[in-house]
Amino acid sequence: MTVNLLRRPRTLVPVSILAGVYTIFQVLLLQYSGMALQKAIISGLIYGLLLVASCVLVKNVLKYYQPRKNEYGYALVLTVGFAMGWITVSNWALLQVYRSQPYISSLIHRTTLVTLLPGLLMIGWTWMISKIHYVSGEQENLKERQQASEKLTRDAELFKLRQQMNPHFLFNSLNSISALMLSRPDEARDMIYKLSDFLRGTLKKEEQLLVTLSEEMQYLQLYLDIEKVRFGHRLLTDIQVSPEASSMKMPSLLLQPLVENAIKFGLYDTSSEVVIRITARKENEELVIGVENPFDPETVRANQGTGFGLVAVRRRLYLLYARNDLLEATTRDHYFITRIKIPVTHDQSHNH
């Protein structure tokens, strides 16, 4: 019962039931004390109805005023005050109804104490239940607000992580366009279109986070085309995507930072040709994507696995799937390998 009360603010129903029980008790008490049955029923109903009214009043008082300090003193004063008020009004009402019958007055006064006690208990109980209800309501409210603000923060962070683009990529691409304008204006125009499409992709605001791998690969291709113009013959790619993997879903804009990281470290270590290998397949119901680049152990760079791109991807995967094991970076035979696993979510709309 308590649990239901906590969930829903329905104090009126149990109060009424209890008041009903009380009314019967009061009727029996009055009859036992020597009152005729019909009069006892009317008197009992007066007591009962006024008790319900008092309880509702207590509940509403609590709704508008809840002291932070001296709560129990307040509870005591409130309960006793309302009980006294209730019994006074009830007795007065009865005397008004049975004005011409003096023996009623003495009967009422004789039974007052026995009448008062259950009323006091009920008003006290109403206070307690209402109090619990309001406190838990407040806490729930607080929790809801916290959750809402956490979600906002997370969404903002996810958006920022998705959007983060290396500005030097943009400046270097613009510089390439500037060079192409001098000799090959058609290629310059082509590069502008590709760069625009790429930028538009990073600016997408709608939260359609999940795309198919083949859509993601199309986007990646724009990026690779631009980088191939920049680095010329030095950048080669080897892309192997299994047919069943290409229709699988993944968060958008996840692949490009991984490939950017691979290009950066692969190409910065050598001035000869570099093959970046990108593989994707289905494995244990998960989409597994690998990005590999060769590196030269002779030229020491800061640990590649700590590159900003990888950190951002790892963070995104954590925010989306609450798992820290989805991105792993390893080295093998002068190859740096980044692997990400995308779990298949049951809710493919993924409305985070």
Partner 1 sequence: MIKAIIIDDEPLARDVVKAYLADYPQISLAAECQDGFEGLKAIQDHAPDLVFLDIQMPKITGFELLELLEAPPKVIFTTAFDQYAIQAFEARAVDYLLKPFSRDRFKKAMDRWLALSEQEKAAGLSSYSDLGPVPAPGANRIVVKMGGKIKIIPVQDIRYLEAADDYVKIHTGDGQFLKNRTMQYFEKNLDPGVFVRVHRSYMVNVGDVTRLDPYEKENHLAILKDGARVPVSKSGYARLKEVLGW
Which positions lie near partner 1, rule CB under 8 A?
Answer: 167-168, 171-172, 174-180, 182-183, 229-232, 267-271, 298-302
d(CA 308, CA 292): 17
Give the shortest CB-255-to-partner 1 separation in angstroms: 23
Q: Taking the complex as a whole, how short is the minimal distance between the CB of residue 226 and partner 1, in angstroms?
A: 11
Apex CA 261: angle with CA 230 and CA 276, to 5°? 70
In whole angstroms, what is the distance from residue 176 CA to residue 12 CA? 76
Output the 3-class SS for 77-117.
HHHHHHHHHHHHHHHHHHHHHCCCCHHHHHHHHHHHHHHHH
CB 258 within 8 A of CB 313: yes
Which H or E run contains 327?
strand 327-332
CB of 272 to partner 1, least distance (A): 9
Q: Which is nearer to partner 1, 113 or 182 (CB)?
A: 182
**118 vs 307, beta carbon nearer partner 1:** 307
**Residues whose CB falls within 8 Å of the CB of residue 186, separated by 6 or more in sequence, listed in order:** none
Nearer to partner 1, 230 or 281 (CB): 230
Query: Residue 11: which of 126, 137, 139 has the closest Cα?
Result: 126
Shortest Å, Cβ 213 to partner 1: 30
Is the CB of 2 or the CB of 299 nearer to partner 1? 299
Of 68 and 168, nearer to partner 1 (C-beta) is 168
Least distance between partner 1 and beta carbon 219 (Å): 23
Backbone angles phi, psi at 107, to 5 degrees: -65, -45
- 1/302 with CB nearer partner 1: 302
Rounded Cα–Cα distance for residues 29 and 318 (Å): 68
Q: How far is the CB of 214 from partner 1 (least distance, A)?
A: 30
Q: How many CB atoms lie within 10 A of CB 289?
A: 25
Q: How far is the CB of 303 from partner 1 (least distance, A)?
A: 9
By beta-carbon proximity to partner 1, the closer residue of 127 and 295 is: 295
